[in-house]
Structures are given as C-alpha cells and as structure tokens.
Amino acid sequence: MTSISGKTVFITGAAGGIGLEIARSFAAHGANVMMSDIDGDALELAAAKLKKSHNNVATIQCDVADYDAMQKAAEATIEHFGKVHMVVNNAGVGSGGRTGSIAMRDWQWVVDINLMGVVNGVEIFTPLMESHGEGGHIINVASMAGHVSMAGMAPYHATKFAVVGYSESLLQEMKERGIGVSVLCPAWVKTQIHLSGNDAPSRAGKEPNPDDPLAQQMKAVIESGMPADIVGEWVADCVEAGRFYIFTHPDFYDAIAARHKHIAADYQATKDDPRFAPYKAS
C-alpha cells in the first residue's frame, strides 16, 4: 500500500484533461500538489479553481521536453514544499499521418514530448525521491495505444509503446530503491489531446483542416470518451493499491488478448521449427 496523504506530487500537463483530474484527486487525498504545464495561462486558470477547495496546490510553468526547465521545476517544487515523493509524467501530444509523408520534425516533436518528457521526469525526480528516504512513486502516462495499435498514428504508438516498456524496466529497478512504479494506459478519455496535433512543427502558421478524416475520427471518439475525473480518481486508487498497470476501459481487454494470441501463435512457429531445436533451454 502507498499512502498519498501528506506526500508531495509533481504533475506535468496539469492544466487540463487527465493531468488536472489527477491533481484534483491527489489534492483531495491530502497530497501537496505542484501542477506544471507548458501553457502558463491555462495552468493558472486551472489551479485557481482547484485552490478554491484545496490550499495544498502550487504551480510552475514548464516544457517537459526541456531538461533544464524540468530541473528548475523540480527545484521550485523542493523550495515550495520541502521535498517530493511522487512524479506524474502526464504531458503528451497526439500526432500521426500517412507513413512516408510525416515530417521528421513532427516525429522528433512527438518523441521529445511523449517519451523524452517522461525520461526527463524520471531522471530528475528519482534522486530527489531517494534523498529523503521516505520512498516514492513514479506514474508514467502511456495509453492503450502502448498495447494495441491502429493505422495512421505510428508516431503516437511508437512513443506510447516505449513508455510502457520503459516503465516495465523501471518497475524491476526501483523495487530495491524504495520507489513504486505505475503506468497509466487509458483508452478514449474526454480531453483536448486530439487538438494537440495542430501544434506540430509542420503545422506552424496553418489553420486546422476540418476535413481531415483522421482528425474527424479522433474528434468523434475522444468526445464520446470517458470523463477525465473518473480516470483521476482511479489513478489515486491504483497507486494506493500498489498496482503497476492502470487500465481504464474494460472493453479493450479483448484487443490486448488478441494481440497476445497473435504473438503466441508466431512464437510457436519458432518453437516448432527444427532449426531452432539446438537453442532450446535444457
């Protein structure tokens, strides 16, 4: 069991969506919450509403893709609250396109935020959590897109699969260091992530294309998704219960099972081929 009450948590992408609802839930559980987001105006607006019912909330503007900015945000958290026990690496963007026509600068943008933003949070906050000897917890926000895939979203899937694998490695390493690890893998949640692709470098100065089929599809499924407050509450429950995988949508179990069945079938072909017999474990 991991208690949230009395702990300090740093949350990225906290100006809206899942990040804001995790902040709200953790504050309600008695945690000190440092909210961070690249959008300073939206961050202050969100925090002002949260502070009406919680006096344990502070803010710091920060770009997760900027290591130095994340370092300064960590220092600000320590200065404000004295120590930090948890980090929620939530900030992310959704971007895709037709393979062969995706601008490489857009690929780099997605990797810098969705993957390296998580890495920056882990690398910077792990020593801080170890320093006080009170334990800690890392919550990395991946996606159901880190387990099952669809066409047209290759950059997003690549980074979310990476966050899942990264988190699985951290789970093994952090046990002996007194730090828990969870990876959040939601499916469709009512957020603004479907609009984030408009900020891709290749889109600079351009108006969004309302006729883009992928954009229309994403808008429809996101707007019909699960309310973000349910996810925020569930994350707190799962952290306190010590769960590693935090799933949110029961209906996606069959999709994960189908993927595992496909893997097992293709692996069986290797086991059955006599060329690999000499390499079987004795």
CA atoms of 169 and 172, how far apart (whole Å):
5
> Is the pTM value of this prediction over 0.85?
yes
Q: What is the domain-level CATH number for residue 216?
A: 3.40.50.720
First-last CA distance in the chain? 39
The predicted structure's pLDDT at residue 260: 97
The predicted structure's pLDDT at residue 58: 98
**Token pair for residue 96?**
């895709």
The predicted structure's pLDDT at residue 173: 97
Whether residue 276 is contained in a domain is answered as no
Residue pair 150/94 in contact (Cβ under 8 Å)? The answer is: no
Domain that residue 78 falls in? 8-252
Known catalytic residue at 156:
yes
Residue pair 174/167 in contact (Cβ under 8 Å)? The answer is: no
The one catalytic residue in 156, 166, 267, 279 is 156
Whether residue 226 is contained in a domain is answered as yes
The predicted structure's pLDDT at residue 188: 83
Whether residue 258 is contained in a domain is answered as no
The predicted structure's pLDDT at residue 113: 98
Total length of the chain: 282
Please list the pLDDT of the chain residue by residue as tens digits (282 residues). 589 999 999 999 999 999 999 999 999 999 999 999 999 999 999 999 999 999 999 999 999 999 999 999 999 999 999 999 999 999 999 888 999 999 999 999 999 999 999 999 999 999 999 999 999 999 999 999 999 999 999 999 999 999 999 999 999 999 999 999 999 999 988 776 666 667 788 887 676 666 666 566 667 767 768 899 999 999 999 999 999 999 999 999 999 999 999 999 999 999 999 999 999 876
- What's the structural domain count of the chain? 1
Let me know if 55 is exposed, middle or buried by CB neighbors in 10 A (0-12, 13-18, 19+): exposed
Whether residue 100 is contained in a domain is answered as yes
Whether residue 1 is contained in a domain is answered as no
Whether residue 268 is contained in a domain is answered as no
Whether residue 211 is contained in a domain is answered as yes
Let me know if 78 is exposed, middle or buried by CB neighbors in 10 A (0-12, 13-18, 19+): middle
The predicted structure's pLDDT at residue 198: 73
Whether residue 280 is contained in a domain is answered as no
Residue 147 DSSP label: T
The predicted structure's pLDDT at residue 96: 86
